[in-house]
């Protein structure tokens, strides 16, 4: 079966305390196997990570009362979403998890041509990753400039000598654009094996590229929005 090129991206905010975190992780561990069973083949938690405002760098003015979770699901068929929601409405574990959530945002994204999974369906973003860097860019509507932008980002994604990877240590593992919510958003995720990554210098280099500067929507502030996350694997936790 071909590679799913569509994703459901979920941002969740929880109260930032150890008890809530432990319970949320336990509930996720219990719920995940359901997504691998029929009648919903093709749902897979492609990427999962956490962010704490007082621990992980960001240019987002996050409230440090919350702990943020990022879940990116590979989805073959958007039509399965209402069936899954209906099923989990009667699942007591899901109901308990949902009651913990302070805020949740869900949007669909589609893979860009340079998305690493487009070339390798078995690509694992967590392989060797100690941190992720997400970069969200709001762009203008200009076909020529966007073509130049995509060419630039293709080089960033595929060229091992790109400064983003060779100098700053960030390798692109995910590249998509929004299909719901705020449109004309490009979302890129990078990983690093470094224990002390410098995200700000990498962002400075990326946004200094002419092809990137030319498409950024100046009406959006900050733009881009970036955030460092720590990978989490629910099934490997005790």
What is the predicted pLDDT for the residue at 238? 54
How large is the average pLDDT for residues 125-143? 96
- Paired with 49 in beta bridges are 70, 231
- Paired with 216 in beta bridges are 139
How large is the average pLDDT for residues 210-230? 96
How large is the average pLDDT for residues 12-39? 86
pLDDT digits (tens, 9 = 90+) for 34-56: 776 655 656 788 999 999 988 89
- Greater confidence (237 vs 92) lies with 92
Residue 122 has pLDDT above 60, yes or no: yes
What is the predicted pLDDT for the residue at 1? 40
Asked whether the domain spanning 116-231 has the same topology as the one spanning 6-112, the reply is yes
User: Is the bond leading into 224 cis (omega within 30 degrees of zero)?
Assistant: yes
d(CA 197, CA 230): 12
| Sign of the Cα pseudo-torsion (88, 36, 13, 206, in order) | negative
**Which of 20-24, 63-67, 69-73 is least confident?**
63-67
62 band by pLDDT with thresholds 50, 70 and 90 = low
What is the predicted pLDDT for the residue at 157? 95
Q: What is the mean pLDDT of the chain?
A: 89
Residue 197 has pLDDT above 50, yes or no: yes
What is the predicted pLDDT for the residue at 161? 97
Residue 3 has pLDDT above 90, yes or no: no
Q: Where are the domains of the chain?
A: 6-112, 116-231
How large is the average pLDDT for residues 143-156? 96
Q: May I ask the CATH class of domain 6-112?
A: alpha beta
Mapping DSSP onto H, E and C, the string for 99-131 reads HHCCEEEEEEEEECCCCHHHHCCCCCCCCCCCE
How far from the centroid of its chain's Cα atoms is residue 89's Cα? 25
Give whichever of 4-13, 18-27, 70-79, 119-128 has the largest mean pLDDT. 18-27
Share of the chain above pLDDT 70, in %: 94
Long-range contacts of 95-98 (CB under 8 A, 24+ apart): 96/23, 96/27, 97/24, 97/27, 97/28, 97/31
What is the predicted pLDDT for the residue at 237? 65
193 band by pLDDT with thresholds 50, 70 and 90 = very high
CATH of domain 116-231: 3.30.70.100
């Amino acid at each position: 079966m071909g590679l799913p090129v569509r994703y459901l991206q979920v941002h969740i905010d929880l109260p930032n305390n150890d008890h809530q975190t432990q319970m949320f992780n336990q509930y996720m561990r219990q719920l995940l196997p359901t997504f691998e069973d029929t009648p919903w083949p093709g749902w897979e938690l492609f990427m999962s990570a956490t962010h704490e405002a007082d621990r992980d760098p960001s240019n987002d003015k996050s409230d440090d009362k919350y702990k943020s979770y990022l879940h990116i699901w590979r989805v073959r068929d958007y039509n399965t979403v209402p069936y899954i929601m209906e099923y989990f409405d009667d699942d007591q574990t899901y109901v308990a998890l949902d009651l913990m959530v302070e805020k949740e945002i869900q949007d669909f994204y589609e893979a860009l041509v340079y998305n690493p999974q487009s070339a390798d369906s078995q690509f694992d973003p967590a392989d060797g990753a100690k941190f992720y860097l997400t970069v969200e860019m709001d762009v203008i509507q200009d076909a020529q400039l966007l073509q130049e932008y995509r060419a630039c980002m293709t080089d960033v994604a595929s060229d091992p000598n790109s400064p983003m990877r060779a100098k700053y240590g960030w390798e692109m593992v995910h590249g998509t654009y929004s299909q719901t919510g705020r449109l004309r958003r490009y979302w890129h995720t990078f990983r690093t094996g470094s224990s002390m990554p410098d995200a700000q210098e990498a962002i400075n280099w990326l946004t200094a590229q002419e092809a990137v500067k030319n498409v950024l929507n100046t009406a959006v502030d900050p733009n881009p929005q970036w955030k460092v996350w720590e990978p989490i694997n629910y099934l490997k936790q005790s």
